[in-house]
Amino acid sequence: MLNAPLDQFDPTIAGSFASDPPPRFARLLGEIAADVRRDSLSVQLPLMAETDQRELLTQIAVPTLLIWGEIDARSPLSVAREFEQRIPTATLVVIPQAGHLSNLDQPERFNDAVRQFCRGHPPRQAI
């Protein structure tokens, strides 16, 4: 991905969508990719991939919504299930027929999941 010439850089990143990216997002993804700082990303990606912070998940003490695409090839459902088990307050919603970018693949289902979660966890009044 980072080694591709600028004119061949694919902003959709294989496995991010259930199939081809929805056409209405192709231009947006291209614009985002144009702003990527490759030098920064080449440092960030290995750090994210190599850093194991699973022990921190058990310390999350607020209601946590995990939304996962059913056919996410970038981060499979086994990862979602592990997060769900380790985060004490986790709610996992699996979006059918969605890949890694479930918010773009299935925006209505994604938004419904967020709305339902928020309705079940209204904000508390500050004291």
Domains of the chain: 6-120 (3.40.50.1820)
Q: Model pTM greater than 0.85?
A: no
CA nearest neighbour of 101 among 24, 5, 43: 24
Question: Percentage of the chain surpassing pLDDT 90?
Answer: 46
- In angstroms, the CA 1 to CA 107 distance is 26
Q: Which is higher by pLDDT, 27 or 109?
A: 109
Query: Per residue in 95-126, pLDDT tens?
Result: 999 999 899 889 999 999 999 999 998 887 66
- Residues 76-86: pLDDT tens digits? 999 999 999 99
Structure tokens of 84? 């769900």
Q: How far apart are CA 38 and CA 3, in angstroms?
A: 9
